[in-house]
Structure 1
Amino acid sequence: MNINILDTTLRDGEQTPGVSLTSQEKFRIATKLDEIGVNFIEAGSAITSEGERESIKEISAQGFNAEILSFSRPLNVDIDYCLDCDVDAVNLVVPTSDLHISDKLKISKDELLDLSNNAVDYCKDHGLIVELSAEDASRSDVDFLKNIYVNAIDHGADRICVCDTVGILTPDTSYDLFSKLNDVKVPISCHCHNDFGLAVANTLSAIKGGASEIHTTINGIGERAGNTSFEECVVSIDRLLPDFSTGIKINQIYDVSKLVARLTGVYIQPNKAIVGENAFAHESGIHSDGIIKNSATYEPMTPELVGRTRKFIIGKHMGTHGLNSRLKEIGLEVNESQLKQICDDIKDLADMGKTVTDVDLQVIADNVLEINHEDRIKLDEITIVSGNKVMPTASVKLIVDGEEILNAGVGIGPVDAAINAIKSLGMFKDIELIEYHVDSITGGTDAFIDVIIKLQKEDNVVSARGTEADIINASVKAYIAGVNRLLRD
């Protein structure tokens, strides 16, 4: 059975606190949603503003395969604005719980029923497709809820939607509710919120209960704890519900996820299912070994299914199998003893609280592979003079090709002065410092400092690192290590 997707990233998703999309950004997201096969796109709420209406008009004018909707209250003024935007359909939202009817609208149930029916009539008289969404349906009297739906259908509503507005359904109650409503004569859809972290589970249960359409947002963004996550729901249907399908181009899910994250500025948590950066990342030695032998041992799906790639994370929990695989990926072949040494060095660094990056791995591996090389330059001594009214000055004693050399330099700070003291020697003149990065590995004023630099000589670029409690020593050691590598190359 096919499950249709109504994506409301551009309406409910944009209601995420702090998110406001421009017309161009909305257009880019809508274009991608249409490309990957979303059936219905709720482009916004036409009543909101002139800018919102211009955005909806632009999306409506593109001739997308997807049906374009606008949110609307059951009021003629809202519906007229929707008509001005040339949308195909309206998501006509009618509150149905006692709480909303009495405390928010302050009308009777009979008045609410008339309001709903009249709004449906007005939409149909003007040629609009109508999806009638019952707001707070999960806290509504089921008999009254069904009466609202039956009346709406009699007046021409094309689809109906159950909204779990404050996310209070559970998978069991979701299934029960949709089972009680699935005898209506039009498609029924599910709109869930994630206040208790159950939006995806409740949506899947709704499908089993009879829903043939689901409302989602990319990355699950939305008010409060957000909405049903598009990517989690679509992939779950594909992998876990064999009797259902969506027709979504699943291998493009990661692309649309990253697009929405970038344009909205809403950070994707690393451990988020499907699209989080850790979703297909492995550090544990046992896991990495299993994945290399057969990915199904520790992955329920291949990363390629959703447009991802697998990553082996470098850290203290890793084993040699995963490490060797990662080394091969960056073009390094090592023997067994070198592999063990690299692994030990990584664990030592990780034990200091340091997250080991690919740059770290490259530097550690290079150091191990080059352990038999004799460095041409060695630091023997460094002295720094710096103060409130003193220009930072450094003097260094280097051993270059076995010869002792003294030199001095000044700079805007002590690190700059120390590097300048070395750089002023003739053999360094063609070497350019192109990147300098500092991290504090541990906490406190006595923290270990990790300095990573990149140096370039002609077309050759190398990375090097220095780790010390003293930032000046760490910087100078990193610089000299990089220069030695360039000179060997």
Structure 2
Amino acid sequence: MGIKSQILLADTTLRDGEQAPGVVLSSKQKAQLAKLLARCGIKEIEAGTPSIGQVELEAFDKILSLGLKVRIVAWGRMTNDDLKAVKASKVSTVNLSIPLSDIQIFTKLKTEKKQVLEKIKEYVSKAKEMGLEVAVGGEDASRANKYFLIEAIEMAKQFGAFRFRYADTVGILDPLRTYKTLSWLKKWTSLPLEFHGHDDFGMATANSIAAWQAGVDSISATLCGFGERAGNGALEEIAFFLTLREKVDTGIDLKALFSLCPIVARYFKRKIPPWKSIIGEDIFLHEAGIHVDGILKNPINYEPFNPSIIGRKHRFALGKHSGRKSVIWTYEKLGIKLSEQKALEILNKIKQFTVDKKRIPSKVELLEFVSDQSPCISQTTP
């Protein structure tokens, strides 16, 4: 038990990610994303739900025909129809899910805990008899009684499951509770654990990190955090943090993963907010004068990681919060060298402009601020 120097980051963009409202991926798109995920170093892809029907089976067929050196996983419920569909998909691995919280057992399944344990026994056994590798997914595990969780995990282990997924299905956890619960579970079972978080309270990524700290063996997440409701843990956030901050061997090519996010967003017909961590357009854009001054002295002052890792550079915006050095640096990039006095004059113009217009000035507008050809400025070669 304890913090691991290696971890499996499993992608579920093609399954749980596609469950984002209104998102439908074609079989061609699914196959393309699977290929690109494999190139990033992802070793496990939960590719969909075969019981959806023929369109999903066609997607599995396209993905499997690529011959990727990746574990392709199908998701299903513990029912005969779902198992039959999983077998038709021709995958070798299935994640069989079942609710484990009292509220879902009693109101969704309308059954008792004893029957849930019997289902785990029955359907793990059936899947194994079909020649499938079986992982058991504990739906709503974060609201389940922890002692019942142990019973369910041990039942899954006894009948041949190779892993148990602890799912924070409605995103109610916080990092401390995640750490405490999963650390406790690790003491009670030797079955490998996977964490799967949802972002309803904005904590899915943080909870995923806490799960790693508790010693889980894998984390299930989606690119860009896409998924139902508020989405899932963001795969790129988890991968970047573990790799760059914790020096964990994830086996993932960060630049390739970063480059894949806009493709996923396009397929999902979703816009990436400019402020979005890791993949947002503005994450290395600075306006505040104190930040720009610090960056110019040493970028590490205000950069959490080197932007070159994702093929970017830091940028400065001139606005209400800017300082003289920002102005001088920006105009030098435009081929204009300013005196300290002129820089201060232009800074005052810029601040007034942003107050009046409620936006930063464009390149053309910046040039207009010096169009009087004042003797305080001189032209330089860009």
Q: TM-score, normalised by structure 2?
A: 0.90
1:325–1:129 distance in 2 versus 1, CA, 3 Å: farther
How far is 1:335 from its partner?
Answer: 3.0
Q: Which runs of 5+ in 2 are unaligned?
A: 375-382
Aligned residue type for 1:207: W
SS at match of 1:334: strand
C-alpha separation between the residues in 2 aligned to 1:39 and 1:325? Answer: 45
Deviation digits for residues 434-487 of structure 1 (CA, Å, limit 9, x no counterpart): xxxxxxxxxxxxxxxxxxxxxxxxxxxxxxxxxxxxxxxxxxxxxxxxxxxxxx
Residue matched to 1:364: 366
Q: Which consecutive aligned stretches of 4+ in structure 1 deviate over 3 angstroms post-superposition?
A: 323-329, 337-345, 369-372
Cα distance in 2 for residues equivalent to 1:348 and 1:24: 52
Residue 333 in structure 1 maps to residue 333 in structure 2: no
Equivalent residue of 1:277, what SS? coil
Match of 2:218 in 1: 213
- Give the alignment of 1:107-146 within 5 angstroms: 107-146=111-150
- Which structure: larger Rg? 1
Q: Which has the higher helix share?
A: 2
Pairwise CA distance, 1:343: 3.5
Deviations 1:149-189 (A, max 9, x none): 11111111111110111111121211121112214233210
Q: Deviations over 1:405-454 (max 9, x none)?
A: xxxxxxxxxxxxxxxxxxxxxxxxxxxxxxxxxxxxxxxxxxxxxxxxxx
Using the TM superposition, give the Cα deviation of residue 34 of structure 1 relative to its aligned residue in structure 2, in angstroms: 1.1
Higher alpha-carbon deviation: 67-76 or 245-254: 245-254
Structure 2 residue aligned with 1:223 = 228
Aligned-partner SS, 2:357: coil
**Residue number among 257, 261, 276 corresponding to 2:261 in the alignment:** 257
> Offset at 1:9?
1.0
Distance, in Å, in 1 between the alignment partners of 2:56 and 2:281 is 33
2:23 matched to 1:19? Answer: yes
CA distance in 2 between counterparts of 1:201 and 1:5 reads 15
- Greater RCO (CA < 8 Å, at least 6 residues apart): 2
Alignment of 1:134-173 (within 5 A): 134-173=138-177
Aligned equivalents of 1:280 and 1:364: distance in 2? 21
Please say if 1:295 is aligned against 2:293: no
Aligned counterpart, 1:99: 103
Corresponding residue number in structure 2 for 1:386: none
Determine the C-alpha separation between the residues in 2 that align with 1:326 and 1:67.
Answer: 49
Larger proportion of strand: 1
CA distance in 1, matches of 2:327, 2:61: 53
Letter in 2 for 1:334: K
Show structure 1 runs of 5+ residues with no match: 373-489
Q: What TM-score results when the alignment is normalised by the length of structure 1? A: 0.71
Matches within 5 A, 1:409-488: none
Percent pairwise identity: 36
Secondary structure of the 1:130 match is: strand
Is the Cα contact below 8 Å between 2:18 and 2:25 reproduced in 1? yes
**Residues 29-428 of structure 1: matches in 2 within 5 Å?**
29-183=33-187, 184-242=189-247, 244-329=248-333, 331-336=334-339, 339-356=343-360, 360-365=362-367, 368-369=370-371, 371=373
2:380 match: none
| Cα-Cα RMSD | 2.1
How many residue pairs were aligned? 369
